[in-house]
Amino acid sequence: MRSPEDLTVAFRVAGLKVTPQRQLLFRLLHNNSSHPTADSLFNVASELMPGISLRTVYQTLTDLAEMGELQSIEVGSGSMRFDPNISDHHHAVCDNCGAVHDVYVNRAPELRGLDDFSVSDARIVYRGLCGACSVASDS
C-alpha cells in the first residue's frame, strides 16, 4: 500500500472525497501487518477520532480494495480481513488466538488435477497454532 500522502493524492485523482477520517484510516493501515477487520480498525479509529462512522471505515476499505491498494481476505474467521501488503503471498491463521501472518512461497508448488482449468487466482490459508500459542499449549 502506498503512503498516506500518496493515497490522499490518488483519492483526489480518482475523484474520491478526502476527509480527516479517511486520512486517519490511511495512517492506521500503512505498514499494518495485523490484517485488521473493519470492526477492529473502527475501534482503533474511534479512540483517536470519536465520531468516525463504521460506514466511513467500510467505504474507505472498499475504495482502497477497488484501487488495488489493499487485499480483502477471507481466512475462515468469519470476518473479512484487510491486508495492505499487496505483494504475492499467502496467509497463516492461528486457530487459537486468530492472528494472521503473511507467508511467502519461494517456488511454485507442483499442482495436479488442474487439467483444462485456467487459474486466475490462488490463495492458500495455512491453519494451526502461532508460536506463542504453541508454546502456551505445551505448558
Helix (H, G, I), strand (E, B) or coil at 44: helix
Of the candidate CATH numbers 3.40.50.2300, 3.30.1490.190, 3.90.380.10, 3.90.79.10, the domain formed by 87-138 belongs to 3.30.1490.190
Confidence at residue 52, expressed as pLDDT on a 0 to 100 scale = 97
Task: Decide which of 1.10.10.10, 3.40.91.50, 3.30.540.10, 1.25.40.10 is the CATH code for 4-73.
Answer: 1.10.10.10
**pLDDT at residue 106 in the model:** 83
Break the chain into its structural domains and give their ranges.
4-73, 87-138
Q: Is the pTM of this model over 0.95?
A: no
pLDDT in tens, 124-139: 899 999 999 988 877 6
pLDDT < 50 regions, the chain: none
| Res 57: pLDDT | 98
φ/ψ region of 32 (left if φ > 0, alpha if ψ in -120 to 50, else beta) reads: beta
Q: CA-to-CA distance for 91 and 100, rounded, in angstroms?
A: 6
Query: Cα angle vertex 103, ends 22, 69, to 5°?
Result: 25
Phi, psi angles (nearest 5°) of residue 116: 60, 30
Confidence at residue 102, expressed as pLDDT on a 0 to 100 scale: 94
Contact status, residue 44 vs residue 51, Cβ threshold 8 Å: no
